[in-house]
């Protein structure tokens, strides 16, 4: 376990959209993100996610954002999306001030339980920017395996800019 025994988990509510968006963006990009190990400032610039995207995830069927909270403060989150018998894990974020305390591991465990017991999924899928070796290693340690599938990283949002050429995505999976 970790030193934060008071962590509570819950599904996100529409009134938490701003706080979730701020958390995710602070973990992946910008000055605050530099304090943590999960940032991709060297690969991309611009916000990781928008308020509109977060709101869409909260209000869509077969989607859930699971929150990790300490004293009602969101310190972590993950987005799960059910696709047939599989569940897609994305947007895993832990506040940079709480990283390296096994909170990400707890969020993944809760996500896998949710995918298996609520969504009735048999596999969890995720994708990672291939240049993020430390993140790939993190998921390998958690029992995910590389599928061998890779695709170019195509940035569709106009507010995100790649800082390097040839970004690519690797796909990972874990049986639940």
pLDDT digits (tens, 9 = 90+) for 98-134: 998 899 999 999 999 999 999 999 999 999 999 999 9
Q: Write down the pTM of the prediction.
A: 0.92
pLDDT on residue 3: 55
- Choose between 66 and 37: higher pLDDT: 66
Ranges of beta strands (E only) in 51-144 are 63-70, 73-83, 86-94, 123-129
Spatial neighbors of 62 by CB under 8 A, at least 6 apart, are 81, 82, 83, 119
pLDDT on residue 5: 60
11: left (phi over 0), alpha (psi -120 to 50) or beta: beta
Kindly tell me if the per-residue pLDDT of 6 is higher than 90.
Answer: no
pLDDT on residue 53: 92
pLDDT on residue 161: 81
pLDDT digits (tens, 9 = 90+) for 61-90: 999 999 999 999 999 999 999 999 999 999
In the DSSP assignment, the letter for residue 60 is: S
pLDDT on residue 130: 95
pLDDT on residue 2: 47
């Amino acid at each position: 376990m970790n030193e934060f025994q008071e962590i509570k988990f819950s599904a996100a509510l529409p009134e938490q959209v701003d706080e979730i968006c701020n958390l995710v963006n602070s973990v992946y990009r910008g000055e605050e993100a530099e304090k943590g190990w999960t940032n991709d400032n060297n690969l991309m610039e611009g916000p990781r996610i928008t308020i509109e995207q977060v709101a869409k995830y909260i209000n869509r069927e077969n989607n859930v954002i699971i929150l990790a909270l300490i004293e009602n403060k969101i310190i972590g989150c993950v987005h799960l999306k059910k696709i047939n018998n599989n569940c897609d894990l994305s947007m895993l974020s832990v506040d940079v001030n709480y990283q390296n305390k096994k909170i990400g591991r707890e969020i993944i465990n809760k996500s896998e339980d949710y995918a298996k017991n609520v969504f009735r999924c048999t596999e969890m899928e995720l994708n990672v920017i291939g240049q993020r070796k430390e993140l790939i290693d993190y998921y390998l340690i958690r029992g995910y395996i590389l599928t061998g599938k890779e695709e170019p990283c195509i940035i569709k949002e106009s507010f995100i800019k790649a800082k390097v050429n040839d970004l690519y995505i690797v796909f990972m999976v874990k049986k639940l």
